[in-house]
Structure formats: C-alpha cells, structure tokens
Structure 1
Amino acid sequence: MSDQFVSARLHMARHIRGFAGSTLASEAGVTAQWISQIENGKRVPTVATVRDIARALDFPLEFFYKPVASQPPEDAFHFRATSRLTQKNESMARSLSAVATELSQWIDQSYRTPPPAIPEVQDLIDAEESLAPEHAADALRGHWGLGSAPIPNLLQLLESKGARIFSAGGPIQAIDAFSFRSDATPVIFLNVHKSAERLRFDLAHELGHLVMHGGSLSVPPGKEKEQAANEFASAFLMPRADVLGSVRRGLLLEDVLVLKRRWKVSAMALNLRANRLGLTTEWTYGLIARQLSSAGYRSGEPASDLTPESSSLLTQLITDLRAQGKGFVDIARVLDVRAQDVRDLMLGLVTFGLDGDGQDSGPSRASLRAV
C-alpha cells in the first residue's frame, strides 16, 4: 500500500455509497468541515482517521491510497435527460464508473479481449459532419456487415466490438442507462430491472450516443439528443427494409404482438416504428397504443418469454476464475473494493449459481483468453 493519501478516492467512495459530507463526518467521528478539507486536498488525514472513514464507507483502507486511473472528462458521459436524474445520482454514477474502468483495465491486462471497434459517425463517413439517426444506424450496420436481418443478441454483439457492459442495477437504480468512452473503450451501464425487450432498446440507445454524440460532434444533453438516440435505436434494431418487408399495411394489435418477437423489441417500440415508416395512419397508431397501454405494455411486456441477454465476456471471466479456485473476492482485492461492489457491476448480466459460478446463456461472441 502506498503511503500517499488520494483525496479523489474519498470523493469517489463517498458518492458511491451516497453519503453526504455531514453524514460521513458523523459516522467517522469528525466534522463536516474536516471531511470537506480532506476531500479538497487541503488537509492530509492520519491513517487512523482514514481507517475511521473507510469503516464508515465500508471500503478497504487500501482503496484510499491507490492512484486514480485516468478518467473520461465530464462531457464524455451520456446520461438520460430525465426528471429522475438528480445530481446525487449522476455523481454516484460517475464515481462508480471509475471503479468499472479499473475493472475493465484489469480485464485487459489479464486476458486477450476484442479491440474497440465501435466507430463514431465521422469515422463511418470520413467527414466531420453529423448524420440523421436513421442514416447513422444504416451506416453502422453496413460497416459491421449486418445487412438488414434482426440482431439475435445485441449485448454480445457489442462485446465482440470491444464494448464493456456493466450493471447499474445495484446502487444507482434511478438511472435508466448511461455510456461513455474510457480512452477508446466504449462503456455502457444498464439498469437491468427491466424487460428483456427494453434492455435491448436501452443498449441500442446508448450505442446511438456513442456513435453520434462523441468526439468533435459532442452535443449538450437535452430532449433532441435523447430523441436522436431513440431514433437510432429504433432504426438499428428494426431496419427499414426488414420492417417494410415484414409488416403489412392495416396493422392490427395482434400483428404487433406477434411481429415484435422478430426484432425482440417492445410492442410500443414496434407500433411507433411502423407508424414512422408510414405503415399505419396516426389514427391506427393511436388506437394500438391505447390498446397496448390498457393491456400493461406501457410499463412492461406482459407474458413475454424473451430471456434477458447476458454478458459473454463477464461470464467467461467468472468461469475462468472459478476454474482457478478464485472469485469475486480476488477481483475485489485487485481493485481494493468489496466483493459486493464487483458483484453489483455484474448484477443481471451474469447468471450466478449458488456457488457463484457463471453460467453462459448461449454461444460466445466475445473472445476472452488469459494472457
């Protein structure tokens, strides 16, 4: 352990646990002013004080003496612009992202992983200009050679392109999803407490941000940015040519409930996509939307048998560690966090057995091999 206290670590730990400065001060037996001065680098605490802080925040002492890896700038993050997104939630997400970035870096150091291959739109068209969401989605599909066929497993596709997918379903459930690039590596956090269909849409939505709203084309948060990401997700999951060839005019509720399985999307999303492509009138769209809402499809996908997509990369990681007689505790020691913090980053993305083994839900699309 280094003997150099890192004030940024206190900021991270406090926000990950959701502690106000005054709350931490009370728990650690110091004043709120003292906590503020330590966090701002104006005072250097004794090891005894740091031990009290570590106990209050439930972090290993070593966490506070570990250098912080380089982090993305604040404007690199793509958060949903919703009324539920408080400053506390955002600060917690940014701090947790730092731990996820360190986990991602450790994975890269320990295993051979797919290189980052999710381009920004200016790389797709070799020009410093934006594209309409529909055209951006088509360009990415063409770049990846996907054609217009439905995507069987979006999560594992993105992992095969070098993305890291983590769970926001532990301490930050108030956030739907968010994304950023850590150096060249795309990172996406998902709130896993949703239907499988809506998780796929959230993934595609964040992919839209990564492709359209980064680098020199970075745009400030707002409704237009979120609408563009929604339109990208809709076009990427339900390509125009495939929808036009599969959906008949005169669409009925029964058709929506059958056809949504083709693209593994929500009934609401398919109804909107069909309308945007001119396959239904505004009256028909509104009628089906009301019918779906009455049947509970506005908040979920009743009677859906679609299994949520799992992480091939994280599953392989846990399986390999288990084969070595290791597990979450060993990863936590590397990161100087709790084993539960590591589990939270994988919650809902890996199926854990009672003994902690990861179970793969299907063929791997992301190669992970020990170095």
Structure 2
Amino acid sequence: MLTPSRLKLARNRRGLTREQLSKLAGITTRSLLAYENGTQRPSPDNLDRLAGALDMPTAFLRGGDVDEIPVEVISFRALSKITAGKRDMARSAGRIAVMLARWIDQRRALPTPDVPNLVGADPEKAAEALRNQWELPAGGIDNMINVLEAHGVCVFCVAMDCREVDAYSFVWNATPFVFLNTTKTAERTRFDAAHELGHLVLHAGAARPARGPQAEREADRFAGSLLMPRASILASGLRNASAEHIIAARSQWQVSAMALAYRLHELSLLTDWGYRAVCVDLARLGYRSGEPRGIAPEHSQLIADALQAAQPGPSLVAHAADDLHLTVAELETYIRGLIPAGGAVMHRRTPPRRPTLTLLP
C-alpha cells in the first residue's frame, strides 16, 4: 500500500512536478493527486511505475508516514535566488538524511546535542562562548566535522543534484543538522561547517529564525572568529603580512588564504589598502578560485563507525540502503566525501564463508 507522504517526498526529492511525474510514469495527473491526497490507492502495476520513474524502491513508497521539514526552519543561503524546485529537492533530501541519522543512532548512539542558543549575541563573543563551552583548543581546530558530531550535530553531504543551494542547516526534533558541499576545497568546507554552526547558535533558536544578508554576515563573522580566534591571530605576528606570509601561515588554522586575509583585515592587522593588495596577489596566485597545496579533506568518524557496526552484507553501504529502502546511489549521495572514496568502510564486503569438512561414516 502506498504512503501518500512518501510519494510526495520522493517526487520533491527528484524535483518533479505532478505533470512531469505523470509523463514519466504514464499515470494521469488526476490519479497522482489522488494518490498524494490519500483518496485513491494505486494498483500494484502503477506503484511499480511510480517507483521506477522516481528511481526509488517500491518499499520506500510503502514505508511509514513522514512529515515535511518546513522551509522556514532551514538556513538556505540566498533563498530568493534558489528555484522552488531546487529548494524542495534539498528540503526532501534533508528529510531522508533525518532517516539516515536515525539509522546511525540505532547502531552508534548519537551524542546528545550540545549547541548553545545565543540568539542576538555578537558573533565574535558567541564564538568565544562556544569555544569555552566545548573546551576547544586556543588555536586552530583539527577537524570541524568531528567536533560538530561530538556535540550532537549530524553532518551529511548536500546531494549532488542540489549543489546550487550550497551548504545549509536546520534543527529537527531537537537534533541539529548541517549539510556540506564536499566538492569544495577542504578549507572552504571547514568554513562552511563553521558558518552553518553559526546559524545554529545565532539564529535557529529564535521564534522566527533570521534570514537574509544580515544573517549570512553574522554567520560568516562567527565562522571566522571560531576558526581563527582573536587572541591566536593577534599573537601570530602577521601585521601587514604579505600574500606569501599568509599562504605560509594559513595551515596553522587550516583555513583558506583568502579567509585568513579577511580575518587579518577584520582585526585591523591589514589596512584597507594592504588588504586589497593582498587579495590581488592571492587571486593572481590562484587562491581566489582554489587552494593550491591545501589541506586534506575531513571525514566523518561517526558515519564510518555506524557503517562498520552494521550487520555484514554484500557491502556496508548496500546494507544500510536496504534497511532504509533506498538505492545505493541515493544513500551514497548523503555520505560521499565524508567517507574516503573507495575505502574499506565504504565498500567492505562480507568475507567468504570457509567451507566446512564433514566426515561421513
């Protein structure tokens, strides 16, 4: 039997209107509307057609009822520039990730969320308060993803077909979620992680979470302050630093050269003229569009542990996909980049059973 809310979730996940799904599945739009409203049940043949058109196992469409994540609780960047279709694709992907988080929690208990509610605080002071609460080291942070997960924040990838929305975050049933675009450089992904944490700290706890350019600037300030603490930067000896000095020093905080230059300017260690000159030099050296000789990508220990704890099957990811009634390709889109590509955790297979010897009388 079809679950109407799952049909709508799957349709939005694929970015399809009812008219588009009608053509793909060969089912009338009127019937699709009736299916989603729960006033009509599809025949087994039509259910199979829907599953095929949506590239979802039939079992997914038959699963338990799911509730939608409201648009207003998600910290989409530049929401006005995102089409409604892309927004709903990302929102639906986020809802499927909530299911994956529950699966992970059943195999490796998730830490209790420990994200402070500092709505209205100055971003720099909020970053300092969070550092104190989480007892982070005075200098750089080794692994932002692991730090987030250790404090109850679930971290997943932005689905490849939703990359236009960039990173985003929300709180669902008291659990904070952060979605990262892992196709970026590791430095920019770390900054995105800190930026989305800023939204969770500064905005998510409000009755009406702040949105728009001002909220984005506040999250950026929080991220810069968290990754590059004021005291650590002031003690670095980088006053009036050249582009070459900034490139050499960036690894201390594991940030991009451009982000470090901005932070130096923000703390008045670079003049307006000096900052502009450094940015020109960094752009000429390729640091505006990339991060030459950058750091290695960060990975999720929590997801790796949960996959390892799963009962052996054809592969760890295939086992998880089967449990969640997803295709392997769909599940991988939420963890790609967070697990080493082609690594043992991603594709470890069940060892072959050794033959037993039976002695006949």
Is TM-score (shorter-chain normalized) higher than 0.5? yes
Distance 1:323 1:48 in 2: 33
Alignment partner, residue 214 of structure 1: 204
Write out per-residue CA displacement over residues 2-43 of structure 1, whole angstroms, 9 at most, x where no aligned residue.
x3x221211111122222322211121122333234224443
Q: Which runs of 5+ in 1 are unaligned?
A: 122-128, 360-371
Larger radius of gyration: 2
Letter in 2 for 1:33: R
Pick aligned residue for 1:335 from 321, 324, 345: 324
Shift of 1:66: 1.4
Alignment partner, residue 103 of structure 1: 100
Q: For the Cα contact (< 8 Å) 2:307–2:320, is it kept in 1?
A: no
Pick aligned residue for 1:142 from 113, 129, 132: 132
Deviates more, 1:203-212 or 1:347-356: 347-356
Alignment partner, residue 25 of structure 2: 28
Write out per-residue CA displacement over residues 222-275 of structure 1, whole angstroms, 9 at most, x where no aligned residue.
101111111100000000010000133221111110111111111111111100
Shift of 1:58: 1.4
Alignment partner, residue 59 of structure 1: 56
Write out per-residue CA displacement over residues 260-298 of structure 1, whole angstroms, 9 at most, x where no aligned residue.
111111111111110010111100001111111222211
Structure 2 SS opposite 1:264 = coil
Q: Which runs of 5+ in 2 are unaligned?
A: 349-361
Alignment of 1:179-328 (within 5 A): 179-216=169-206, 218-304=208-294, 306-321=295-310, 326-328=315-317
Deviates more, 1:49-58 or 1:201-210: 49-58
Distance 2:62 2:190 in 1: 39
Letter in 2 for 1:156: N
Pick aligned residue for 1:19 from 11, 16, 41: 16
Deviates more, 1:246-255 or 1:74-83: 74-83
Deviates more, 1:169-178 or 1:285-294: 169-178
Structure 2 SS opposite 1:246 = coil
Q: Whose RCO is larger (CA < 8 A, sep 6+)?
A: 1
Please say if 1:347 is aligned against 2:340: no
The structure-2 alpha-carbon separation of the partners of 1:354 and 1:198, relative to structure 1 and needing over 3 Å to count, comes to closer
Distance 1:147 1:208 in 2: 18
The structure-2 alpha-carbon separation of the partners of 1:87 and 1:275, relative to structure 1 and needing over 3 Å to count, comes to same
Structure 2 SS opposite 1:278 = coil
Shift of 1:334: 1.8
Letter in 2 for 1:328: V
Letter in 1 for 2:286: G
Alignment partner, residue 45 of structure 1: 42
- Give the TM-score, by structure 1 length: 0.88
The structure-2 alpha-carbon separation of the partners of 1:152 and 1:354, relative to structure 1 and needing over 3 Å to count, comes to closer
Distance 2:117 2:168 in 1: 17
Q: For the Cα contact (< 8 Å) 1:141–1:236, is it kept in 2?
A: yes
The structure-2 alpha-carbon separation of the partners of 1:10 and 1:275, relative to structure 1 and needing over 3 Å to count, comes to same
Deviates more, 1:232-241 or 1:220-229: 220-229
The structure-2 alpha-carbon separation of the partners of 1:354 and 1:131, relative to structure 1 and needing over 3 Å to count, comes to closer
Q: For the Cα contact (< 8 Å) 1:296–1:302, is it kept in 2?
A: yes
Write out per-residue CA displacement over residues 41-68 of structure 1, whole angstroms, 9 at most, x where no aligned residue.
4433233212211111111112112123
Pick aligned residue for 1:170 from 140, 160, 168: 160
Shift of 1:352: 3.6
The structure-2 alpha-carbon separation of the partners of 1:220 and 1:40, relative to structure 1 and needing over 3 Å to count, comes to farther
The percent identity for this pair of structures is 36
Alignment partner, residue 126 of structure 1: none
Distance 1:21 1:235 in 2: 46
The structure-2 alpha-carbon separation of the partners of 1:11 and 1:235, relative to structure 1 and needing over 3 Å to count, comes to same
The structure-2 alpha-carbon separation of the partners of 1:241 and 1:98, relative to structure 1 and needing over 3 Å to count, comes to same
The structure-2 alpha-carbon separation of the partners of 1:262 and 1:217, relative to structure 1 and needing over 3 Å to count, comes to farther
The structure-2 alpha-carbon separation of the partners of 1:112 and 1:325, relative to structure 1 and needing over 3 Å to count, comes to farther
Alignment partner, residue 73 of structure 1: 70
Structure 2 SS opposite 1:112 = coil
Deviates more, 1:342-351 or 1:75-84: 75-84
Distance 1:333 1:358 in 2: 14
Distance 2:81 2:333 in 1: 21
Deviates more, 1:104-113 or 1:39-48: 39-48
Pick aligned residue for 1:118 from 98, 115, 123: 115
Distance 2:281 2:80 in 1: 27
Distance 2:46 2:153 in 1: 39
The structure-2 alpha-carbon separation of the partners of 1:228 and 1:358, relative to structure 1 and needing over 3 Å to count, comes to farther
The structure-2 alpha-carbon separation of the partners of 1:41 and 1:155, relative to structure 1 and needing over 3 Å to count, comes to same
Letter in 2 for 1:293: A
Shift of 1:71: 4.8
